[in-house]
Amino acid sequence: MIKFCRLVAIVLFCGTCYSAICSEHIFTDHALTRYANISVSIKDMVTGDTIACHRPNHVVPPASTMKLLTTATVLEVFGEDHRFSTFIEYSGVIENGVLYGDIYIKGGGDPTLGNLEDGQNCLNVWTREIHRAGIKSIKGKVVADMSLYDADAINPYWVWGDIGNYYAPGIFSLAYMDNTMNIQLKSGPIGTVAKVIKTVPEVPGVVFENHIRCTEIDYDGAYVHGMPYNNCRYLVGSIPSNLGVFGVKGDIPNPGLLLAQHLTNTLRANNIGVEQEAGYISEANHVKRTLIYENLSLPLKEIVRRTNMYSVNLYAEMLFRNLGCLISTPSTIHNSEMFVRQFWKNRGVDLSSCILHDGSGLSPQSVMSANTFLQLLTYMKGSKNAEVFYQSLPVSGESGTLRTFLDGTPLSGRVHAKSGTIMGTRNYAGYITLPNGKEWVFAILINSANGKSRKIMQVIENYLLDVYQTNQ
């Protein structure tokens, strides 16, 4: 009788069926997840009926599933066709083809500027437009203006082990080449220290404190540590031995300055003399300027697609900071958080239990619940941006960060979702389309699991498959 009453209580609390509750044992009985912090909710998209749940209101670090909140917000605020602007300006006066002043590159929060996928055609375009403005030589310099965001380029809630790596770069209003440099290392015999050969791109003035050793491992175990604006990068960890040249990715310490240096070089190569070396500012100087050219980013729908499909932290963080600009400039992390909270409060999505420290989910101190994700995902299904948002999500067994998730199972190709992984955390949130045409919205968040990420993913796969088979 006691057991029966407990079952009824669970059914009433979750609003789910007995078979779905039985699926809970996959988490509660498994050695990896038995004592983990778990929040799960799966509902029918049309009826709102609960298919399965497990502590749906408990908060868990979202990791990269946080990008769902960030990308949904920017789509709703700016619209899918919005483009971010980078402005080419000059100060001073032009006399007889000579600029007595400086060229400014004013950052407007375009995360894709000059990235490796789209090339650096912007430098040639800017050079052409500067020449069209009647400038044949410059007595000043090229200046990167990064004043749209505040100087807090590294989120204080990120952990030291991430900062300086390519996936946790400094966040400036001028991004360049994905803020990433490839550090080329010479891999030698076991026990030796790898030798730094060069960086791609070359970053003038960068220096390395190198302690990367060549070992018997067969994967990249190297880490890059460093602070924004500081050209010193501390290299630790290990790489495979005797492999010749081995690449390790780190962040560019000052991407705006590197962009200004590259524009300076391009101008000189095209016979436009630049007297002084490139510089940068992180605070607005209020010098009077004249606009030469407005460089537009890719459409927002494409930036959102790349952000979600490939889980690009840089893009998510810049989109997050751009929201803060709508409160005040320079944008701050706090203003961005305030904007996101108020925006969704006005639309009935309750973020009161959430802690939002960043836009990418890299902070382990940010937390959200499964039910909060379901509120967000349900809202977006009825949005005018529903299709763009949906198509930005990786597909199970097919694309992006879900390429191997549920591959070869009945749910392969049926899940559109965002994954999230940080140390001890594995999460998924999105939509499931059933063969009968029904659609579920779901979130599975697992933190502090005692095992490797791949093993936790398999537990989640087994859970989803069990719920799916039970509810066909």
**pLDDT tens-digit profile of 59-70?**
999 999 999 999
pLDDT band at 19 (very low <50, low <70, confident <90, very high): very low
10 Å CB burial of residue 302 (0-12, 13-18, 19+) is middle
10 Å CB burial of residue 52 (0-12, 13-18, 19+) is buried
Q: Say if residue 342's pLDDT is above 50.
A: yes
In CATH terms, 13-79+302-470 corresponds, of 3.40.1160.10, 3.40.710.10, 1.20.1050.10, 3.20.20.300, to: 3.40.710.10
d(CA 118, CA 116): 6
Residues in CB range of 352: below 8 A, 6 or more apart: none
pLDDT value at residue 119: 65
pLDDT band at 30 (very low <50, low <70, confident <90, very high): confident
pLDDT band at 118 (very low <50, low <70, confident <90, very high): low
* Averaged pLDDT for residues 231-252: 95
pLDDT value at residue 424: 82
N residues, the chain = 472
* Averaged pLDDT for residues 438-455: 93
**More confident call, 1 vs 123:** 123
**More confident call, 360 vs 472:** 360
pLDDT band at 117 (very low <50, low <70, confident <90, very high): low
pLDDT value at residue 12: 37
Comparing 13-79+302-470 with 85-150+255-298, is the CATH topology the same?
A: no
Q: Say if residue 5's pLDDT is above 60.
A: no
Domain boundaries, the chain: 13-79+302-470, 85-150+255-298, 177-251
pLDDT value at residue 6: 33
Convert the pLDDT of each residue in 142-156 to its tens digit: 999 999 999 999 999
* Averaged pLDDT for residues 291-307: 97
d(CA 38, CA 236): 33
Residues in CB range of 32: below 8 A, 6 or more apart: 449, 450, 451, 455, 456, 459
> How far, in Å, are 113, 328, 333 from residue 150 at the CA level?
19, 11, 9
- CA 58 vs. chain centroid, Å, equals 24
Mean pLDDT of the chain: 93
pLDDT value at residue 9: 36
pLDDT value at residue 16: 41
Please state the φ and ψ torsions of residue 281, each to the nearest 5 degrees. Answer: -135, 145
Q: Say if residue 35's pLDDT is above 70.
A: yes
pLDDT value at residue 137: 98
Q: Say if residue 409's pLDDT is above 50.
A: yes
Q: Dig out the tokens for 449 from the structure.
A: 């699991």
Residues in CB range of 338: below 8 A, 6 or more apart: 324, 327
pLDDT band at 451 (very low <50, low <70, confident <90, very high): confident
* Averaged pLDDT for residues 419-441: 94
Lowest-confidence pick of 13-27, 212-226, 309-323: 13-27
* Averaged pLDDT for residues 236-247: 95
85-150+255-298 CATH fold: D-tyrosyl-trna(Tyr) Deacylase; Chain: A; (3.50.80)
pLDDT value at residue 28: 77
Q: Say if residue 165's pLDDT is above 80.
A: yes
Percentage of residues in the chain having pLDDT higher than 70:
94
pLDDT value at residue 11: 39
H/E segment holding residue 327: none
pLDDT value at residue 3: 36
d(CA 133, CA 289): 13
